[in-house]
Structure formats: C-alpha cells, structure tokens
C-alpha cells in the first residue's frame, strides 16, 4: 500500500525527514511514533500527497504522488492534526460537502454521512453547528470525514492529541473497529498506550530518522526488560541513590521524581532494593511498556 525508500524532506536547511524506508501492507495498522519534531507529520504529509518529497522514492497504492496525486488522494482518508472542519456548516453538511469533493453523488453522500455519524456516535448532533462541539466530538467528526470516500488507507495524524481520557478511549474504540474491518490505518502518535493498543507494527522516529521498527511486543523485548521497578525517594536526590542501585538491574534510568530499574525479574530487584535499606517512599513493579522503549531510544530530553 505504501512503499518508501530513502525518503527525504528538507525545508531549506532543515531536514525534517532524513532518508526513511517504510512498507505498509494492506489491512495493517502502522504507527509512526516519536517526539515532537521527529518528522512524523512531514512524513504523513508526503504520504497524503500534499508535500512533494525532496528525495527518495515514494509509491502509494502503486502510484507516484508527483504525477498521480489527485488519483491517490481520491483513495485516501486524511485526519489532520489540526481540525479543519468548516465552522459555517453543520455536522452533517461537513460530511456531505466533503463527499462531493470526491465526486460522490449528493444522495449517496447523504446516506454515507448518516451512516458515518452513527459510527462516530454523533447522530444527535447532525444538525448542530461545528463550533459548540467538544474537542472529542470534533475529532470524531474529522475521522468520519476522512472515511467519507471509503478510503483504502486512513491517515491519522495524532488522532487523540489534546483530548481528555474519555474522549481518547472513544476515538480508540472507533479506530479499533476500523482496524477490525480490515482498513489500512497509518497513524502518528506520541502516546505509547495508543501505539500499543492500535498498531500491528510501528517505527520509532527521532530527528527525521527511523531508530527502531517492529511490533510493539518485539520492540519491548528488544529495547527494554520484561519488568520495570519504579522507586521514589522523597528526601534524597535521585542521582545520589542511583549509583548504589546500578548493580541491581540491567539498566537504571534517573527521572526527576523517580528512578527506574530495568530488570527481567522485577520482584527480585525490588527485594534487593529493600536489602540495601535505602528507604524508598514507594516501590512499584510493573510490566515494561512501549514508553520505556521510546524513552530509551529517543532520550529523555523534552523536545518542543
């Protein structure tokens, strides 16, 4: 469905995407994971045929975005990072007018809009203006709009960024259904739980490059331990304690408020910490997640 080799995007001197290879197969849910500025959105815009690659090869649905951009876009569904709904139209009209851009007859468009409003649970708001909708509703409407042409690939750029937890779960639930229906999903996110829940396969991007690739599980296996022990020391600076903990785990990460011990047997590591009698305020053993992989690969520096 998507084939990219050595894909590069430069804006002047700034290299947003620095030679990435991507393959997405039909029916797959594929994720681009990375901190802000990693090049995820630039990649999505290239796949969406609104941003010509600076170098490299890109084929979408077997077509060349440069020459067949319109034909490709006719078969894509795009949910952009920033809402771009028409505030002067009602909820249903937003879907119908958008369907018309795909050459869908008005009658079919109306039926499709009603169907999609059911799917994203916005039927009662069909005749409402867009303005008073909550952030979660707007996002669901944007997702519905992306599906109006029954796309072969849905491109979702940070579909749940800025939503409250409840709204996020609703969006995830809908996306999961699409995945079950066999739609090819390509999404970007910096939420690890989102990637873990939705993606069959993902790439971790950092400063325009792909730093890791695989299924969520295989990435955790490769770049993290099975379990993680989280320790909090309220009275001591974490850096002071960290040295003493180094031998207890495969790897020790020091965060401002806690220390993470990466160990395959978390309970054993926690036991060892107790024996040192350092007096941590709390000890938590948990399963390792994609977040641990992500932090390991992209570093802990906050990127803005």
Binding residues (CB under 8 A) for other proteins: these are 11, 48, 50-52, 70-71, 73-74, 76, 78, 80, 82-89, 93, 96-98, 100-103, 145
Which residue lies nearer to other proteins by CB, 78 or 122?
A: 78
70 or 301: whose CB is closer to other proteins? 70
Residue 213 Rama label (left phi>0; alpha psi -120 to 50; beta): beta
Query: How many angstroms separate the CA atoms of 65 and 189, rounded?
Result: 24
Angle at 294 between CA 77 and CA 23, to 5 degrees: 40
| 145 or 296: CB nearest other proteins | 145
Nearer to other proteins, 15 or 258 (CB): 15
CB of 145 to other proteins, least distance (A): 8
- Min dist CB 65 to other proteins, Å, is 11
Rg of the chain in Å (alpha carbons): 22
Cα–Cα dist 21/53, whole Å: 13
Q: How far apart are CA 183 and CA 90, in angstroms?
A: 27
Burial class (CB in 10 A: 0-12, 13-18, 19+), 249: buried
Pull the structure tokens for residue 151.
């796309």
Tokens linked to 209: 């490059």
CB of 254 to other proteins, least distance (A): 40
79, 159 Cβ separation under 8 angstroms: yes
> In angstroms, what is the minimal distance from the CB of 106 to other proteins?
9
Contact 136, 167 (CB under 8 A): yes
> Judged by CB, which is closer to other proteins: 12, or 234?
12
Task: Tell me whether residue 15 or residue 97 sits nearer to other proteins (CB atom).
Answer: 97
The least CB distance from residue 74 to other proteins, in Å, is: 4
Closest contact distance (angstroms) between CB of 211 and other proteins is: 26
């Amino acid at each position: 469905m998507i084939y990219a080799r050595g894909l590069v995007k430069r804006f002047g001197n700034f290299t947003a995407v620095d030679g990435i290879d991507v393959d997405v197969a039909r029916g797959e849910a594929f994720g681009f994971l990375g901190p802000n500025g990693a090049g995820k959105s630039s990649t999505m815009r290239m796949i969406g045929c609104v941003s010509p690659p600076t170098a490299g090869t890109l084929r979408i649905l077997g077509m060349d975005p440069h020459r067949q951009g319109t034909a490709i876009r006719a078969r894509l569904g795009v949910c952009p990072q920033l809402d771009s709904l028409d505030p002067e139209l009602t909820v249903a009209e937003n879907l119908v007018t958008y369907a018309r851009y795909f050459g869908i007859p008005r009658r079919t468009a109306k039926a499709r809009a009603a169907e999609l409003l059911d799917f994203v649970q916005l039927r009662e708001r069909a005749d409402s203006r867009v303005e008073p909708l909550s952030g979660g509703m707007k996002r669901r409407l944007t997702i519905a709009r992306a599906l109006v042409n029954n796309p072969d690939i849905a491109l979702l750029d940070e579909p749940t960024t800025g939503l409250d937890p409840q709204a996020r779960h609703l969006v995830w639930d809908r996306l999961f259904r699409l995945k079950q229906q066999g739609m090819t999903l390509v999404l970007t996110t910096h939420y690890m739980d989102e990637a873990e829940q939705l993606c069959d396969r993902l790439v971790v991007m950092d400063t325009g490059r792909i730093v890791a690739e695989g299924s969520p599980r295989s990435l955790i296996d490769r770049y993290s331990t099975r379990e993680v022990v989280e320790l909090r020391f309220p009275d001591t600076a974490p850096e002071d304690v960290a040295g003493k903990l180094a031998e207890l785990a495969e790897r020790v990460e020091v965060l401002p408020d806690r220390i993470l011990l990466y160990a395959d047997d978390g309970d054993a590591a926690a036991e060892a910490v107790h024996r040192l009698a350092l007096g941590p305020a709390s000890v938590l053993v948990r399963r390792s997640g994609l977040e641990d992989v992500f932090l390991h690969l992209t570093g802990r520096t906050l990127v803005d």
